[in-house]
Structure 1
């Protein structure tokens, strides 16, 4: 396990009630006298001092940040969202186009990058850990104002965060990066991107710090992506400074992160979602990346499998080119995921013996999961980009219909996200409200 832990520092102080006016004046005089006498006032450093008394005064003068505004209320029950990069989100013209799209169609949500594979944090924060790493690259100049603008139009705001694929953190804090066992250098995947160790609590705390900053600014939901081990590259040459493969498996390590994440974000007043490989809907293995559906369901409000038909192997369920069969691929995937969700619900929320529960779901250690708990609803990512086929409005609608056809009382239909890296969305594929 990790020996070094550098969690987000807490600057919150309890505020005292307002005293009598005369006491306020005396207290103010005492403060001034103490500062002048000690010679500790530093204009250059904005009251950065070492005296215990004056440090307490500074904390009163500069309290920790409080929430800027609340989340959207009421939030839509069925979220129909589109993906935006930070660059799109920073462009007023583009935002106006998205607002008009929402006004004229069923779209009621946007998923905005606040930290992508580069590892840069795309908005300004007030967190000491993030400042220490210097990972901010505020493409979105005022995230709070953007959220407020979208909320005024009844648009639900989801902030997307890439977690373990993090080029910046790996290169600037290499002690947390996955290493190449042959060279000792930072390991890189086929795209030459670096990853940080999923077993590092420092990495966990850092990402949670970003989440807390986004929540403070009013986002409605946090969407975690790249919550896994690498899937391509020289996997056999990966060396992990914190993840101990002799003590736990990859899916057990990822589950521990999910558990830690939920424990440290449950009081933020926001929803959470997690992106999984589409294959996780039906594959009982972890695909060597640590993702197992049942190990994610208890820890999030929504799970978002990336069920892009173009990403399924040729011959999948009998289709030479799965991209040409959007309804069939989504329908199959969602049916499998919904059935597995129902089975896990039965195992965790009924008076079954441990042996009976294990028999229901033999591919996981069910005793590791919380009992009598709610499970995430399914809200998949759907394909809008052209790959394997030209994705017409009709093909997009077929995917959406497959999602609707797999909603049930036990597994409510929670909506969908549309993914297009170019952020272009054809209004013809969307219904009018």
Structure 2
């Protein structure tokens, strides 16, 4: 079978007389390069036999590694007359069934020219085909500015991408000018914006941007799930809210015993008997909102005796932090069967499922606690499934995964951390420099009573609340600089060693303010707070 008509690459090659169909038998045959389009042949190739790379194609790394180019079966009989080159260097032809395969080498980044030439005896008939294509493995550039948030106004997302990229915001294509700049408005209250740039080769760059801006000022107090059911404890905290001294209540979702305070519908919580139903979540949140405050849901993540015990008894022992000998790691003063394994997929999913459920119920914030490894030397503990990651990397990826899971919901995400984490990230696997990139706020526990003598040059931290809080928070402020992540410290409203009254609590609040931190969360295990230490929040 031969071509039935002649195409010409330039007017100078147009024949002056008609060429008979049979005369084309002297040519090298129908030579085709897969998907080559028109190419530079002077006769048309058969469509069904075309395979491989197209003229003008742009390939990403995966496509470049798999690409193959072939000559149609018609050319096989003239193999000795064929010569193939890639960027001027000869490449061999191998038999592949009825076809000839061009043995392409590893394709490097950049432009490439593939040429196949065939000897022929007829004049005016070119037997040379050229296919130009490119390999592009570099992800497109994408820069997105932090949006300016104004009350009751749509949020404008602006940025710049590589000029050959298509840009979408939350899945919607947006126009890009010649310089790669784009601008789009999203509705006020949109939790997160996903900006994606895709270049011609299919390389992708994605940026997640908070469209809510920084977490607004929060002044909160902690209360347990059981404490919420006590009329006096609940009433005292709500009275502080109504007086303008607090604007948020931190209520336990899952506590240090592994108990979920409300009747959770998360399957694993029900399976292990963790869903206690001490309070009605929707009613509690509605009461907090009605008082004029926001509801922060605290989830004690990896200190979870309930899940640890149930998992050990059912043979799911990889869910626990283990000793090198395969026994449950004794968490020191927390006891055996106290710490679950942050690297285990089921443990991670359980906590993330609770976070999503709490956000759906109406909690304004999800605040993780015990999002860390146990105390003690790393040599004494194993984390099944952690692979090549460090404990710090595994913890950060867990928090990042939670942020992704919470994206459809308006809840802010916070992480409670030890005060030492600002300078000693490996001690309990809390890398602040990484965590500020995947959270809305970091909540360092800088209780003066928890610092050892001499920390930050303070001889007795427990008796110097201003000095130790001011100096330790300065390190957290430094690590959050340049991000949208707030530092919202946990402050001590309890006595442990020294007696803490309103003056000592107020000193800590002043120390936070010295670091330009107007937010804080007060901790008292019994939920009894000293309102005299609190200034009234200005009402706008």
Structure-1-length-normalised TM-score:
0.70
**Shift, 1:375, TM fit:** 3.4
Question: CA distance change for structure 1 residues 312 and 93 in 2, over 3 Å: closer, same or farther?
Answer: closer
Q: Is structure 2 residue 379 aligned with structure 1 residue 275? A: no
Residue pairs, 1:9-88, within 5 angstroms: 77-88=216-227
Residue pairs, 1:233-244, within 5 angstroms: 236-244=379-387
Check conservation: 2:355, 2:402, Cα contact below 8 A: no
Residue pairs, 1:145-224, within 5 angstroms: 145-174=283-312, 175=316, 176-182=319-325, 184-191=326-333, 192-193=335-336, 194-224=338-368
Greater RCO, 1 or 2 (C-alpha within 8 Å, sep 6+) = 1
The C-alpha deviation readout for 1:287-341, integer Å capped at 9, x for no partner, is 4321111110011111100011111111123322111111111111122221222
Q: Which of the numbers 283, 301, 308 marks the counterpart of 2:440?
A: 301
Which is higher, the Rg of structure 1 or of structure 2?
A: 2
Q: What is the CA–CA distance in structure 2 between the aligned matches of 1:401 and 1:105, rounded to whole Å?
A: 18
Q: Match of 2:332, SS? A: coil
Check conservation: 1:105, 1:430, Cα contact below 8 A: no
Q: Match of 1:295, SS? A: helix
Give the number of aligned pairs.
Answer: 319
Q: Which of the numbers 421, 425, 428 marks the counterpart of 2:525?
A: 421
**Shift, 1:414, TM fit:** 5.2
The C-alpha deviation readout for 1:172-207, integer Å capped at 9, x for no partner, is 11321112333x332221221511111112111111
- Structure 1 or 2: more helix by fraction: 1
Match of 1:331 in 2: 470
Check conservation: 1:212, 1:265, Cα contact below 8 A: yes
Check conservation: 2:253, 2:297, Cα contact below 8 A: yes
Q: What is the CA–CA distance in structure 2 between the aligned matches of 1:315 and 1:126, rounded to whole Å?
A: 47
Check conservation: 2:458, 2:467, Cα contact below 8 A: no
What is the Cα-based RMSD across aligned positions, in Å?
2.1
Match of 1:115 in 2: 254
- Structure 1 or 2: more strand by fraction: 2
Q: What is the CA–CA distance in structure 2 between the aligned matches of 1:129 and 1:316, rounded to whole Å?
A: 42
Structure-2-length-normalised TM-score:
0.56
**Shift, 1:240, TM fit:** 2.2
Check conservation: 2:221, 2:237, Cα contact below 8 A: no
Match of 1:360 in 2: none
Q: Is structure 2 residue 405 aligned with structure 1 residue 264? A: yes
Match of 1:394 in 2: 503
Q: Match of 2:413, SS? A: strand
Please, which runs of 5 or more residues in structure 1 have no aligned partner?
1-70, 346-373, 408-412
**Shift, 1:275, TM fit:** 0.4
Check conservation: 2:446, 2:490, Cα contact below 8 A: yes
**Shift, 1:105, TM fit:** 4.4
Q: What is the CA–CA distance in structure 2 between the aligned matches of 1:338 and 1:291, rounded to whole Å?
A: 16
Question: CA distance change for structure 1 residues 178 and 317 in 2, over 3 Å: closer, same or farther?
Answer: closer
Q: Which moved more, 1:222-231 or 1:186-195?
A: 186-195
